[in-house]
Structure formats: C-alpha cells, structure tokens
Amino acid sequence: LSTPDDFFRSACPFPLPPLGEYGVGNVFLPQQQVSRDACLALFERMARKYGLKILGWRLPLPVNSQVLGPYAQSTEPFIAQVFMGVADDIEEEDLMSDAATAGMKPNLSTSANRRRRGGNKAKGGLKPSASTAAIKDLSLETKLFLVRRAISLRASELFICSFNSRTITYKGQFK
C-alpha cells in the first residue's frame, strides 16, 4: 500500500512533515514493558546515528485479538508504528556514535569499488575512513534502510515489518 498520509495526519497526535519527508515503520515489539522500552531506546539511538529523528509513535495500535487463533494469541506481539524524519539539528558527534561502531563509519562505496579493491575487509560493511558528512547526504530512504538494518542486527526481540517513506506493509497472524 502507498503511505496513507491523510489517515496518518488524522490518527497521529503529533505533526507530520509533508508526504515523502517522513518514513513510517510497522513494528512488532515485545509484550514485556522493560524489553519494549529498551527497543524504543534503540530506535532513538539508531535514528540519531543516521541523522534522523523520531517524530512520534502510534502505540499501541488498535488490534482485534479475538480473531486470532490460539497459537497467534500466545505469541501476539505489541504492535506499534514509528515515524521518523530528517533531523535538522543533529550534532556531528551523534552521527555514528553507537558504541557498537566506535571508530567505524559506514562503507558507502559501491559494490563494484569493493570488488576492485578485493572486497570489504571490515565486518558489517563498515570501514574507518568514510566521512560522517556522507551520512548527511544520503536520501531519506537510504537512511531508513540503514536504521532498519542496524536495529534488526542489534535486537532479536523485535521485528520491523516495513520501514519506508513511500509504502507501508501490514502483517499479522490469523486462524
């Protein structure tokens, strides 16, 4: 589905920038509050790391658990939507400041360049010499992808169904 901008504007208790200047993610979070809070903090950290800001959350999303089968009910996640936009006031030290990538920058070179150099030797597609200015120049879609990927690699207790500025995907378990 394309992003239902009119619906989001009516359903979100926070202002949204123009369509195409924000991304929305459908997220399955843990039911336990402590684990869920840790996941929300991870979203905040990764957003800052890639020059984005969280505009707000829709949580919990309305669900009808009565239509779920027994197994789906026993494993039902806490379903939320996160909205992110480009951060205008991001500090240089916020970019790439995550402890897991201390001293490392994303490898933003093309795969053809990596092949010519004999591959990327650093783990996780990271290399120490890339500039944080390169992150600022990335498109919103690329930043959303990097945030999604970074979160997915760090948290096994959540699942990001979709995270995009143009489309949205709904997922669920039924009988």
Predicted local confidence at residue 98, as pLDDT: 52
* Contact call for residues 150 and 49 (beta carbons, < 8 A): yes
Q: H/E/C letters for each residue in the chain?
A: CECCHHHHHHHCCCCCCCCCCEEEEEEEECCCHHHHHHHHHHHHHHHHHCCEEEEEEECCCCCCHHHCCHHHHHCCCEEEEEEEEECCCCCCCCCCCCHHHCCCEECCCCHHHHHHCCCCCCHHHEECCCCHHHHHCCCHHHHHHHHHHHHHHHCCCCEEEEEECCECCCCCCCC
Model pTM score: 0.76
What is the identity of the amino acid at 51?
G
The answer to whether the beta carbons of residues 158 and 151 sit under 8 Å apart is: yes
pLDDT for position 175:
47
List the pLDDT tens digit at each of the 175 positions of the chain.
789 999 999 999 999 999 999 999 999 999 999 999 999 999 999 999 999 999 999 999 988 888 888 888 888 999 999 999 999 876 666 665 554 443 333 333 344 444 444 544 444 444 433 456 788 889 999 999 999 999 999 999 999 999 999 998 876 655 4
So what's the pLDDT on residue 91?
63
How many whole angstroms separate alpha carbon 169 and alpha carbon 161? 7
pLDDT for res 107 = 38
Pairing of strands 22-29, 159-164: antiparallel
Tell me the Ramachandran region of residue 51: left when phi exceeds 0, alpha when psi lies from -120 to 50, beta otherwise: left
